[in-house]
Amino acid sequence: MKENVFFKKKIFTIDKLFLKKSFKKIKKIKFVKTLKKADVGDLTFYDSKIYMDDAISTKASFCITTNRLANDLPKNTEKIIVKNVLYELALILKRIYPFADIDYPDLTLKNTNNKSNKSVKFGNNVLIGKNVKLGKGTIIGSNSIIEHDVVIGKNCVIGSNVIIKNSIIGDRVVIQDNCKIGQKGFGFIPNKKRNIKFPHIGLVLIHDDVEIASGCTIDRGSVDDTIIGKNTYLDNQVHIAHNVKIGSNCMIAGQVGFAGSSTIGDNVSIGGQAGISGHLNIGNNVKIGGGSGVVKDIEDNQIVMGYPAISFKEFIKKNKKNNEQN
């Protein structure tokens, strides 16, 4: 796997990260990855039975986990037993990626001074960071900021007052005015003495032909990436938290909010002001009514509505019964 160019990384051997633990093999840590993506030489973490299938098949050399979960992991994965997995992970990420817990200003930004060329057109006062790659035919509106190492594909339209960082964007993507993409998510580990910030080392990946309307915010991933699938449309003021994965050909109406680490299937439609809780799986071809609160997984081809969201037929029956009683 290629090095993450967005965040500077310090190199540690596993024994230097966990001074009070002993290890069969002393290795340099290549990457910190999720159970599913980790490979030999990587450090991962396992904190919930929700991810048991990924734990069983992980290729990671080392895993931060608890006594209760350790037996789910392969024999070749060394277990690092702790009381609070996410707390320990946050401390380790802070050491390996010391600049990932705060969005520091990009000091490499330079003003394009409206100097458009044959390939790319700029509005007034556009700032571009070091090593940014912009595809042919792309237009960037006035007062927008594209930070270091961001990749934007061909024939994209970026509106005015847009800020993009820590992101890779495909072709023919439209991002309208006042959007912010790739910032650190809302990640904290509660602690009575002092809440601990959780560093975010993931990216935002936006696939081809996506359209993002005005005022949307999309947080980068924490350890994984935040992903928007092909041909998906976001209405105004949609918020997408860290690690969320939205499939292809979805339609998301205004002011919908996604909590972290939920997965949305293909061809999903969500009405305005709905809320999706974290760590959920929403299947393909699902329709979610406006104002709904989704607090559990939804299987393919379901229509749900209400708070908490229930099947549409059940919702109609419940409302009819309530009206009759009143």
Closest-CA residue to 73 (of 22, 150, 85, 249):
85
Exposed (0-12), middle (13-18) or buried (19+): which is 209, by Cβ within 10 Å?
middle
- Whether 231 contacts 212, CB under 8 Å: no
Closest-CA residue to 205 (of 267, 248, 235):
248
Closest-CA residue to 100 (of 217, 206, 6, 194):
6
- 42-71 burial code (b ≥16 CB/10 A, e <16): bbbbbbeeebeebbeebbbbbbbbeeebee
Give me the residue label for tokens 């290795």.
27
- Whether 243 contacts 51, CB under 8 Å: no
Catalytic residue chosen out of the listed positions 200, 207, 239, 242: 242
In sequence order, what are the beta bridge partners of 167?
204
CA 273 to chain centre: 20
- Whether 209 contacts 201, CB under 8 Å: no
Identify the H or E element spanning 87.
helix 85-96
SS3 15: helix
Q: How far apart are CA 73 and CA 78, in angstroms?
A: 9
Task: Record the tokens describing residue 265, joined without a space.
Answer: 């299937």
Q: What is the chain's percent helix, strand, coil content, to nearest 5? A: 15, 25, 60
Q: How far apart are CA 243 and CA 197, in angstroms?
A: 16
Q: How far apart are CA 268 and CA 246, in angstroms?
A: 9
242 is catalytic: yes
Active-site residues, by number, are 242
